[in-house]
Amino acid sequence: MTTSPARDLPRSAARTRALYREMLRIRRFEETLYRLVSEGRIGGTTHLCIGQEAVPVGVSACLAAEDLVVSTHRGHGHLLAKGARLDRALAEIAGRELGYCAGKGGSQHVAVPALGHLGSNGITGGGLPIAAGLALAQRLRGTGRCAVAYLGDGAADTGNFHETLNLAALWRLPVVFVLENNGYAMSTPVERSSACAAFVDWADRYTGMATARVDGNDVYAVADAAAPLLERARRGDGPALLECLTYRQSGHSKSDPRVYRSRDEENAWRARDPLDRLATGHGLDAAAVAELGADVERELDAAIAAALASPPGGRELAIADLDVPALPRAPAVPRRTAAVAPGTEVSLIEALRETLHQELAADDTVVLIGEDLGCYGGAFGVTRGLEEAFGRERVRETPICENSFTGLGVGAAVGGLRPVVELMFGDFVTCCMDALVNHAAKLRYMYRGQVTVPFTLRMPVGRRKGYGATHSQSLEAWFVHVPGLQVVFPATVADAVGLLRTAIRTDAPVIFCEHKLLYPVRGAMPELDHLVPLGSARVDRPGRDLTLITYGNALSLCRAAADHLAGRGHDVEILDLRSLAPYDRDACVASLRRTGRGVFVQETNDVGGVCDRVLADVLPDVFGRLRAPLRKVGAAHAPVPSSPELEEAMMPGVRDVVRAALPLLEEY
């Protein structure tokens, strides 16, 4: 539905002066930034919003200090309008320690949580699901706040836009999407990229989504339209989209010569400049304009001096904020919540379900998010019964939109929840790499530790006799490569319980891999407080002649191979990594030094795998103690075929492990 303003923002001389000054402050900040970049005094890239100042100023005039904002790569105006200081904003872009993120976020990735600014985002449309997740957190925590997600017209063509609006409408989230339609997605005119007359026409199709379309160069019109939409969101009546028609007078970025539009078009829009319109339309005379201008210049001069005098950081700062936060102390789980008594033999599926049940009962910020989690119980039945026990607010079934519901989980984590997101198959992680690699992994780093991301992604991975090339992959090595992500892969019931509980409770994003063939594996249910630290390996079997390093489903291969080798008189040690990032380097080094021989065994193919990362990393510290070269065993470097027989033929087996180990034991 399209709404009409419930009330106008009160007009007064004082308010008009304040609005004009804020728009001028943004304008002069960006003009100065452009000059400093052009002179080479500030490096990097920058995207200016000159001409669009009425949108963030009009929206921010209606925001409470506690309301949250998620911005875009063209976000200086959103940042300053939310209350940021000029000196710290300029220092951030200049890469100086005075900056809000000490230069680690820069122009595109700055955040000031203390002001309710939860981050600018350099990925077009990338911030939309994060804003929806923040809104979900506000609703479940009962804060009464709403979230604002700024976006450009180009972002409205992305999957994140439609997926997120659908989720926000389904769940009646307190979020307002503010679309700055400046007519161009970089250089592409809107009429060439978007098959709609207006973006509100698309948003109107989502049930419960309120919409409004206004002149984005009229700051009072923006405020009058934003106020009722924000009030509606705070009341819990659902999301909205506010489309603001505006124009960027600058290019897309500093290097853009604007060859894609005419100077007549630019001049016509300059005649509708938001500062001039406010001044002439609301009685600001030349003296008042000059007075406000002088005031802004004084603030700007001081900001330039302070920002450029601040030192840049060094290597210590460059690699900071990637450590795993200390494990928080969780509330004790009442024994009455344990449906399975410690010591009871259970399958890995039952152990995971019981652990989720215990964590949901112990902490009301824990929520489950994913497809078919309710009566179906998830693709493999892990969540069966949890919706009945905790309700649909805590166990949230989603549409099939992996990137957006994963990104929503990331935003919910930043907003104070502890989401556990489930993918049906780990292969579908390819659909949500943006949410994981660009956001979950980097937000704490880019924002200089001002936010945490207590987020867990559960992924069923690996083969299962005939699932085929798109439902049988183990892609854990991809995430080991990404700084900021933790990756775990348990092989036993006890480790699955301990690592899942640790993942949920730690203030960092964790990729939790569950091999499908391990779901029936049985073991004793651990104690209620059982935790397995990240980065801790486990000696599954001690030995003195050779080390088999492994994880996940390959543990069973190593056990069988060790039994076979024992029959030939060889004492083999098995080291189960359990945690792949961080991994227990000390345990690997100690074991290889002790035995002098090593084989790394993994089920997935061994090209660029976890095996390569570990063996290359430990080699300098074990080389002098080795009695034989290190070897590795993995699957063939090919997609997994659908035929169960062909699948088995390409996978490593016990014989492969024995064949790799015997020469090391008998020829060296």
Per-residue model confidence (pLDDT) at position 4: 38
Residue ranges of the chain whose pLDDT lies below 50: 1-6
Note the helical H segments in 178-332: 190-193, 199-203, 219-235, 263-270, 274-281, 286-309, 315-318
For 622-657, letters b (16+ CB in 10 Å) and e give beeebebebbbbbbeeeebbeeeeebeeebbebebb
Residue 107 lies in a domain: yes
Q: How many domains does the chain have?
A: 3
Same domain, 265 and 391: no
Q: How far apart are CA 180 and CA 177, in angstroms?
A: 10
| Residues 477 and 547 reside in one and the same domain | no
- Counting other chains too, the contacts that 15-19 makes at CB distance below 8 Å and 24 or more residues apart are 16/278, 16/282, 16/283, 16/284, 17/284, 17/288, 17/292, 19/57, 19/58, 19/61, 19/219, 19/220, 19/278
Q: Indicate which CATH number applies to the domain containing 474.
A: 3.40.50.970
Taking only the tens place, the pLDDT of each residue in 572-628 is 999 999 999 999 999 999 999 999 999 999 999 989 999 999 999 999 999 999 999
Residue 164, phi-psi category: left (phi > 0), alpha (psi -120 to 50), beta (remainder): alpha
Structural domain containing residue 364: 345-524
546 plus 571 within the same structural domain: yes
Domain boundary among 300, 318, 336: 318
Give a yes or no: residue 127 inside a domain: yes
pLDDT at 6: 41
Q: Are residues 161 and 112 in the same domain?
A: yes
Residue with tokens 């007519």: 183
The C-alpha torsion from 594 through 596 and 600 to 606, rounded to 10°, is: 140
Residues 468 and 546 in one domain: no
User: Residue 323 domain-assigned?
Assistant: no
CATH code for the domain in which residue 654 is found: 3.40.50.920
**Measuring CA to CA, how many Å separate 27 from each of 23, 269, 296?**
6, 16, 10
pTM score: 0.95
Domain boundary among 524, 548, 566: 524
Query: For strand 631-635 and strand 345-347, is the pairing parallel, antiparallel, or unpaired?
Result: unpaired
- What's the token pair of residue 521? 């594996």
How many angstroms separate the CA atoms of 514 and 518, rounded? Answer: 7
Length of the chain: 668
CA distance 346 to 354: 10
Asked if residues 124 and 466 have their Cβ atoms less than 8 Å apart, the reply is no
- Nearest-angstrom CA–CA distance, 173 and 236: 7
Task: Report the 10 Å Cβ neighbour count for 388.
Answer: 11
Is 530 inside any structural domain?
A: no
Tell me, yes or no, whether 294 and 360 share the same domain.
no
Instruction: Identify whether 87 is part of a domain.
Output: yes
Residue 516 lies in a domain: yes
> Amino acid identity, residue 195?
A
**92 annotated active-site:** no
Maximum distance among all alpha carbons in the chain?
97
Helix (H) and strand (E) counts in the chain: 25, 21
Catalytic position from the list 47, 73, 471, 515: 471
Based on the domain organization, do 303 and 350 belong to the same domain? no
126/30 same-domain check: yes
DSSP conformation letters of 364-406: TTEEEEETT-STT-STTSTTTTHHHHH-TTTEEE--S-HHHHH
The answer to whether residue 26 is domain-embedded is: yes
In a domain, 532, yes or no: no
Q: Which residues of 576-612 are buried (b: 16+ CB within 10 A; e: fewer)?
A: bbbbbbbbbeebbbbbbeebbbbbbbbbbbbeebbbb
402 an active-site residue? yes
Q: 402, 422, 603, 647: which is the annotated catalytic residue?
A: 402
205 and 79 share one domain: yes
Pair 201, 302 in one domain: yes
Q: Are residues 242 and 109 in the same domain?
A: yes
Nearest-angstrom CA–CA distance, 584 and 317: 25
Both 513 and 547 in one domain: the answer is no
